[in-house]
Chains A and B, each alone.
Chain A
Amino acid sequence: EDQVTQSPEALRLQEGESSSLNCSYTVSGLRGLFWYRQDPGKGPEFLFTLYSAGEEKEKERLKATLTKKESFLHITAPKPEDSATYLCAVRRWDGSEKLVFGKGTKLTVNP
């Protein structure tokens, strides 16, 4: 059974304090790993897709990396507006486009 585990469940940072969020996965044939950001009361907003181990993608203060077992979302010098829940999801080679999500990491960045 596919499993996506995100850690920590919640993270509090001071503005400017860099850190990483973890997403470990067990899936029979990874087709893609996705990172989303979600603000309270809203739908998830797409951040990155990673397809193969060793791949990295960056956007502003965020950088996503992928290994064969896990993905990291690195946040460099975060700002209060980076506060959100970050979701990780995987898609496997089963003929469908469905995503299996982790439970998310709630990030709070204090000024």
Chain B
Amino acid sequence: DVKVTQSSRYLVKRTGEKVFLECVQDMDHENMFWYRQDPGLGLRLIYFSYDVKMKEKGDIPEGYSVSREKKERFSLILESASTNQTSMYLCASIPRGLNEKLFFGSGTQLSVL
């Protein structure tokens, strides 16, 4: 079965810190995604990547950047964390061209104090 692993389950950071959220998938998927989930707002797409070193902005990219140096790893970077970035972050992956489900990780609950 496909495994999407997010490096941290819970993370607490201070305002202004640089934060890295890591996601690794073990099935050679071309596409990887970062969503954030907030009560009352649902899942919103931050960034996605359709291949190594390729990225596209999602619906809410402001305040975030991403890195995809290897196919299996997709990193979400908060250059200077702010309290409004406190959220649940979810990583997902899927092979290119496959009109099937996204495989999700278990999420990282980030608190910025």
Chain A positions within 8 Å of B, measured between CB atoms, are 31-32, 34, 36, 41-46, 49, 51, 87, 89, 91, 96-104
Contact = CB atoms under 8 A, between A and B. Distances in A.
A34 B92 CA distance: 14
A103 B37 CA distance: 9
5 contacts: A31-B99, A41-B107, A45-B104, A87-B42, A99-B45
Contact of B101 (A31, A49, A101): A49
Nearest to B10: A41
A79 to B, nearest CB: 24
Nearest to A93: B99
A101 B104 CA distance: 14
B13 to A, nearest CB: 19
B42 A42 contact: no
A44 B42 contact: no
B99 A97 contact: yes
Interface of B: 4, 31, 33, 35, 40-45, 48, 50, 56, 58, 90, 94, 96-102, 104-107, 109
Given A96-B48, A103-B40, A34 B101 contact: yes
Contact of B107 (A32, A43, A102): A43
Contacts of A42: 106-107
A97 B97 CA distance: 7
B41 to A, nearest CB: 7
B110 to A, nearest CB: 13
A44 B96 contact: no
B104 A43 contact: yes
A43 B42 contact: no
Given A87-B42, A103-B42, A104-B42, A98 B33 contact: yes
